[in-house]
Amino acid sequence: MNTDSYNEGAVVHTPVFIDGHSVEIPILKILQQDGTLYECAELPDIDQELATKVYKTLAFHRVLDERMVASQRQGRLSFYIAALGEEAASVGGAAGLKDQDMIMTQYREQGALMFRGFSLEDFMNQMFSNAKDLGKGRQMPIHYGSKELNYMTISSPLGTQIPQATGYAYGQKLQGLDAVTICYFGEGAASEGDFHAGLNMAAVQEAPVIFFCRNNGYAISTPSDEQFKGNGIASRGVGYGIKTIRIDGNDILAVMKATQTARAYALKENAPVLIEAMSYRLGAHSTSDDPSGYRTREEEEQWQANDPILRMKNWMLAQNWWDETQDAEIYERYRKEVLAAVKVSEKIDKPHLDTLITDVYDVPPVLLQKQLEELKEHINKYPDAYPFTAGKF
Amino acid sequence: MAQMNLLHAINNALDIAMTDNERTVCFGEDVGHFGGVFRATSGLQEKFGKARCFNTPLVEQGIIGFANGLAAQGSVAVAEIQFADYIFPAFDQIVNEAAKFRYRSGNEFDVGKLTIRSPYGGGIAGGLYHSQSPEAYFAHTPGLKVVIPRNPYQAKGLLLASIRDDNPVIFFEPKRLYRASVGEVPAEDYQLPLGKAEVVQTGNDITLLAWGAQMEIIEKAAEKATGDGISCEIIDLRTILPWDIETVVNSVMKTGRLIVSQEAPLTAGFASEIAATIQQECFLHLESPIARVCGMDTPYPLALEKEYVSDHLKVYEAIKHSVNY
């Protein structure tokens, strides 16, 4: 056994207990809310073109979330999850990576998929579970995925993507690819056993994976101080022997800088990195809850003043890379586009009945084919009860 | 052809799979240098290197979560769970993730390259936690294949087919047979079909159906029944999910009688599923009720194991009862 990783401290002769707070964890901040940089702050690799793409993605994200929450309220959509106030974590993460890197997410990271170029139509078709949905209308709204864009299809069970990301990254390493995997999750999901499994295995198996924790203070209604008592999630990374950094998650430049640095490290050292991004979920968990039942308006207002999109806009204006006219123009354009796309996608048919049994296996087994035939006979007998599929197979 | 025990046949199949495809990776607790607690992966790390055959930490949900990611990436992931009794921490990764990976993504992603190997079943004085037969839990999960071999020849051919099948497969190895079952096994690469039962003995009076180590038991019972002039047809189901209904139906249409025997407890075991399907398909051809000879509805015992198990005498009694119904 090799004990090199044991950092033995001073020998003591009376009991001395330590806790997670014995390790002071610095927090990376680059951009201030007024758009100026902190003194001596080191910028990520970013030019006007990339910055404009990042900012436009953030703006589009904000518009899409607003419109889809409204659509849900109007009864046009069954469910939605917005990322209000946390957009920088997902968009900045994707912007700090390369296209060949795999992105595995929880469910509040649609910004990463927008940055990769998932079209508005693709978002809509997934949310309306219609025949054009890449996922064939099988999952609730917001469970996106795209092989072409290296964005793993989302699954609802929390934290399951964490050990999977370790395995995915291990496969990338075995093939010698210039690629890593980034794995997003919330501070609540970090209580799942899969968090422990995934991080420990990544350290032991030396997988080039970036674990990106969005610490937004709440898991539905449960505040983080009822979720854990340690020094955030970052303190755990140290215990697993994983390089760890805590950042301001509302600071897009800090997110990009941390991700770019983590990517280079993970690839060079074949080792995982843990990023804990401190942020706040300004909206509800989903369209199915109302946060006024579990937190105060004052608390929300404090964080509204930390809006990550406004912060980036202030920086863009200060750089003379952006102006108010352009800003008003894109918001107006995105609102129109989203509304128009809703109207198109909600009218597209449901997927064909045959897709009920495809993809369970590579080829449907005999028994399943028989079940489908029986179903078709039944629908033919009672067509009025099955208006979406009757007469369409 | 060489004589091999079931362990050697498994080891040989893994060796061939790793030689044949350099993206095949074997891992699990103690799987690396030590070669697994039963030695199924013996010599593989030495031959293929530490990157492709390695120990994992003691975390079953992590092993299968890792395996899911690795398979989704395109590697051929062969994960070992040291005992089937310890597969339950990985239940979520198997049932909610592996089984649904392709369906939920609309075939954007899949883990068809995943195979989970695990020693299972009783008969080794293993008590509650080294004896279970959990196949029915997984048989209730669309998207999985569940495969169980009865002897070394079957083990090699079915394992190679499982590793190369484009669906996640759980491959349960009857550990009681690891060293006890010895037979002729071809040295070359071969595969046996998944989803296909095998009629191992033809007969006219009654059909006996089992899988894995329980095949030995029903064969022994059939031999005893032959002395009474009863002609038994014996079928090895081989794949529990998706199972070969046609072969069983054809047999029962002929014999009019069916006994299904399993090591697992009676209630909601896979024998129950078979009984329900066969009564539906063969109702007017049945001469007697379909019988299930199974473990009792208790945890797997230790001191009273001999009394608990569905042995050949219990199967023999069921045969006589069915024939004389």
Q: What is the pLDDT of residues A105-116, one digit of tens each?
A: 999 999 999 999
Mean pLDDT of A100-126: 98
State whether A377 and A276 are in the same domain: no
Is A87 a domain residue? yes
Mean pLDDT across the stretch A244-257? 98
CB within 8 Å: A135 and B104: yes
Q: Are B242 and A359 a contacting pair at CB < 8 A?
A: no
| HEC per residue, A266-335 | HHHHCCCEEEEEECCCCCCCCCCCCHHHCCCHHHHHHHHCCCHHHHHHHHHHHCCCCCHHHHHHHHHHHH
Grade residue A9 by pLDDT with cuts at 50, 70 and 90. confident
Paired tokens of B196: 């296909």
* Residue in A143, A147, A157 closest to B92 by CB: A157
User: Chain B: residue nearest A361 by CA?
Assistant: B143
Task: Parse chain B into domains and list their residue ranges.
Answer: 2-185, 198-323
CA distance B168 to chain A (A): 9
Residues A51 and A123 reside in one and the same domain: yes
> Which of A132, A191, A359 is the mutation pick for testing B, counting most B CBs within 10 A?
A359
Within-domain flag for A316 = yes
Q: What percent of chain A stands above pLDDT 70?
A: 98
Clarify whether residues A146 and A250 are in a common domain.
Answer: yes
Q: How confident is the model over B163-202, as pLDDT tens digits?
A: 999 999 999 999 999 999 999 999 999 999 999 999 999 9
Looking at the complex, does the CB of residue B22 fall below 8 Å from at least one CB of chain A? Answer: no
Give me the percent of chain B exceeding a pLDDT of 70. Answer: 100
Chain B environment of A205 (Cβ under 8 Å):
54, 56, 66
Which domain, by its residues, includes A60? 20-345
Nearest neighbour of A163 by CB, restricted to B54, B65, B108: B65
Judged by a CB distance cut-off of 8 A, whether residue B59 touches chain A is yes
Tens digit of pLDDT for each residue in A28-85? Answer: 999 999 999 999 999 999 999 999 999 999 999 999 999 999 999 999 999 999 999 9
Nearest-CA distance B22 → chain A (Å): 10
* A222 SS3 class: strand
Q: Which residue of B has its CA nearest to A358?
A: B103
Are B104 and A365 inside 8 Å of each other by CB?
no
CA distance A48 to chain B (A): 34
Q: How many residues does chain A have?
A: 393
Active site residue B60: yes
Whether residue A285 is found in the same domain as residue A364 = no
Record: contact B71-A146, CB cut-off 8 A: no
pLDDT of residue B286: 98
Confidence check: pLDDT of B274 > 70: yes
Asked whether residue B84 carries a pLDDT value surpassing 80, the answer given is yes
Residues of A in contact with B51 (CB under 8 A): 174
Say whether A153 and B104 touch across the interface (CB within 8 A): yes
Q: What percent of chain A has pLDDT over 90?
A: 94
Residue B281 catalytic? no
Average pLDDT (A295-323) is: 96
**Residue A360 to chain B, least CA–CA distance (Å):** 5
Strands B239-241 vs B206-210: parallel, antiparallel or unpaired? unpaired
Q: Region B36-44: what's the mean pLDDT?
A: 97
Q: What is the mean pLDDT of residues B282-289?
A: 98
Q: Inspect the interface and report whether the beta carbons of B104 and A167 lie closer than 8 Å.
A: no
Residue A131 and residue A256 share a domain: yes
A255 Cα to chain B: minimum distance (Å): 25
Place A104 in a pLDDT band, splitting at 50, 70 and 90.
Answer: very high
Q: Picking from A175-189, A284-298, B265-279, B297-311, which range would have the lowest pLDDT averaged per residue?
A: A284-298
Hey, is the C-beta of B66 within 8 angstroms of any chain A C-beta?
yes
Contact B59 A201 (CB under 8 A): yes
Partner A contacted by B307 (CB < 8 A) = no
Give me the pLDDT at residue A5, please. 65
Domain count, chain A: 2
Nearest-by-CA chain A residue for B56:
A201
Catalytic residue among B130, B135, B173, B263: B130
Q: Residue B62 and residue A198: Cβ atoms within 8 Å?
A: yes
Residue A225 sits in the same domain as residue A369: no
User: Which residues in chain B have their CB less than 8 angstroms from residue A147's CB?
Assistant: 105, 108-109
Tens of pLDDT, residues B3-18 = 999 999 999 999 999 9
What ipTM describes this predicted complex?
0.97
| Whole-number Å distance between alpha carbons of B128 and B148 | 21
Q: What is the CATH number of domain B198-323?
A: 3.40.50.920
Contact state of A362 with B110 under an 8 Å Cβ cutoff: yes
> Per-residue pLDDT averaged across A129-156, rounded?
98
Of the pLDDT bands very low, low, confident and very high (cuts 50, 70, 90), residue A19 is: confident
Q: Which of B121, B112, B58, B132 is nearest to B90 (CA)?
A: B58
In a domain, A10, yes or no: no
Contact B69 A164 (CB under 8 A): yes
pLDDT digits (tens, 9 = 90+) for B160-171: 999 999 999 999
Nearest Cα of chain B lies from the Cα of A375 at a distance, in angstroms, of 17
Closest in B57, B70, B105 to A153, CB measured: B105
**CATH number of the structural domain spanning residue A233:** 3.40.50.970
Lowest mean pLDDT among A4-8, B45-49, B84-88: A4-8
Q: Are residues A154 and A248 in the same domain?
A: yes
- pLDDT reported for residue A4: 63
Which residues of chain B does A181 touch, with a Cβ-Cβ cutoff of 8 Å?
69
Would you give the distance in Å from CA B12 to the centre of its chain? 18
Burial of A75 (0-12, 13-18, 19+ CB in 10 A): exposed
Q: What is B2-185's CATH superfamily?
A: Thiamin diphosphate (ThDP)-binding fold, Pyr/PP domains (3.40.50.970)
Q: Is B204's Cβ below 8 Å from some Cβ in A?
A: no
CB contact under 8 A, B102 and A359: yes
Mean pLDDT across chain B: 98
Per-residue pLDDT at B305 = 96
Cβ contact B69–A358 (<8 Å): no
**What is the Cα–Cα distance from A33 to B142, expressed in whole angstroms?**
51
pLDDT of res. B270? 98
Specify the pLDDT at position A381. 98
Residue B102, class by beta-carbon neighbours within 10 Å (0-12 exposed, 13-18 middle, 19+ buried)? buried
Cα end-to-end distance, chain B, whole Å = 45
Q: How far is CA B138 from CA B92, B93, B150, in A?
A: 11, 12, 19
Q: What value does the mean pLDDT of chain A take? A: 96
> Would residue A5 count as lying in a domain?
no
Give yes or no for residue A22 having a pLDDT over 80: no
Q: Which residues contact B183 (CB under 8 A, 6 or more apart)?
A: B3, B4, B151, B152, B153
- Contact at CB, B242 and A366, closer than 8 angstroms: yes
Helix (H) or strand (E) holding B183: strand B182-185
Contact A205 B72 (CB under 8 A): no
Residues contacting residue B124 through CB under 8 Å, at least 6 positions apart: B130, B131, B175, B176
Residue A347: partners with Cβ closer than 8 Å, 6 or more residues away: none
Q: What is the mean pLDDT of residues A387-392?
A: 93
Q: Is the pLDDT of residue B294 over 80?
A: yes
Which chain A residues are within 8 Å of B108, Cβ to Cβ?
Answer: 134-135, 145-147, 153
For residue B162, how many C-alpha atoms fall within 13 Å in the half-sphere facing its CB?
34
pLDDT at A6 over 80: no
B296, pLDDT greater than 70: yes
Check B29, B60, B219, B233 and give the catalytic one: B60
Say how many C-beta atoms besides its own lie within 10 A of residue A321's C-beta.
15
pLDDT at A20 over 80: no
pLDDT single digits (tens) A334-356: 999 999 999 999 999 999 999 99
From chain B residues 85-124, the ones with a CB under 8 A of any chain A CB are 89, 92-93, 96-97, 100, 102-110, 112
In Å, how far is A155's CA from the nearest CA of chain B?
8
Same domain, A302 and A368: no
On the question of pLDDT at B205 being above 80, the answer is yes
The reply to whether B245 touches chain A by the CB within 8 Å rule is yes
Place of tokens 């006890």: B180
pLDDT of A178: 98
